[in-house]
Homo-oligomer: A and B are copies of this chain.
Amino acid sequence: MTAIQLAIAGVGKIVYDQHAPAIAGNTDFKLVATASRNHSIDGVTAYKSMAEMLASGTAIDAISLCMPPQYRYEAAREAIRAGKHVFLEKPPGATLSEVESLRDLAAEQGVTLFASWHSRHAPAVQVVKRHLQQHAPRQVKVIWREDVRHWHPDQEWIWQPGGLGVFDPGINALSIVTEILPQAMFLKQAALEVPSNRQTPIAARLAFTDALGTDVQADFDWRQTGGQTWDIIIETGSTHVHLKKGGHELWIDGKQSELPVEGEYPSLYQHFCQLIRKHASDVDVAPLRHVADAFMLGEHIVTDAFV
């Protein structure tokens, strides 16, 4: 089959770290262009904007959108209306309603829309999902503690309205939990700690349940220095399940499980290719819906200025 001619719009850290290597390792895709005000990829034709790229006449089948969520709708709309398949880096938008609008537009235009959740492609996730279909979860603890200064140096957009704050990493945990739990959960209580000089939370504590009364607690914190923690611990009554390192390590009853070596972004691009070949879309808003619920329901606690 001919390779899918791919472009990237919004070139930054996640593109250099993840997208570019994943695309380079996948013969189904050929990276033909980028659109970014300030950045480019060596050896790939660089345009300054989506409009310039679309007007250039370069043959493009699909576009990965990797700009901050506040700017994603306009870019996605331009791409979809130009008949391109669209890969949305997580989160798929700044609001739930704009993602609904993009889903409708993509259906109208007959193109693939893929709202990606990279953490769902971590190697332990499908293994644990199958385990929980056999062993019903009773209690789930999510501990997602990292150092914002290390992961988001000079990224002001994360602190601006719509930037999500600690939910930017936290939504990765929520994307895993919503994938593995057999029942849909919903928020009961939330506390959001917001620095006095910022608009988005630096920490959040969330308590969810589901129709069976499962107890799901999440602890998101961006103030952790030293070792970083991306853990999900599940008690099922008969087993103790521990996902570590964001789903890259799995321990069941204290014994480490063998996992496939598949990487997240290579797996995402395989899935995107399959969706395009099948003329299908994949747009699950559940993780973003939980974040919106947390902002709506959460107690707002002002905490120390972030400097």
Contact = CB atoms under 8 A, between A and B. Distances in A.
B289 A96 contact: yes
Contacts of A290: 97
A95 interface: yes
Nearest to A196: B302
A292 B190 CA distance: 14
Interface string A230-267: 00000000000000000000000000000000000000
A190 B211 contact: no
A210 B101 contact: yes
A199 B95 contact: no
Nearest to A104: B184
Given A210-B101, A292-B292, A293-B292, A186 B95 contact: yes
B101 A184 contact: yes
A97 B96 CA distance: 12
Copies in the complex: 2
Given A96-B293, A293-B96, A299 B161 contact: yes
A81 B117 CA distance: 34
Interface in A197-224: 199, 210-211
A162 interface: yes
Interface residues of A, number: 36
Interface in A129-164: 161-162, 164
A299 B198 CA distance: 10
A73 B297 CA distance: 14
A293 B185 CA distance: 19
A275 B187 CA distance: 29
Contact of A297 (B95, B104, B189): B95
Interface in A278-307: 286, 289-293, 295-300
Contacts of A98: 186-187
Find the residue from A104, A186, A190, A199 having the highest chain B CB count within 10 A: A186
B190 A298 contact: no
A35 interface: no
Given A190-B161, A211-B77, A97 B296 contact: no
A73 to B, nearest CB: 7
A60 interface: no
Contact of A199 (B184, B194, B299): B299
Contacts of A187: 95, 97-98
A293 B97 contact: yes
A105 interface: yes
A102 to B, nearest CB: 9
Given A97-B187, A161-B300, 17 more contacts: A77-B211, A95-B293, A95-B296, A95-B297, A96-B289, A97-B186, A97-B289, A98-B186, A98-B187, A100-B186, A100-B289, A104-B184, A194-B300, A199-B300, A291-B296, A292-B292, A295-B296
Closest 7 CB pairs of A and B: A97-B186, A292-B292, A95-B293, A98-B186, A295-B295, A295-B296, A162-B297
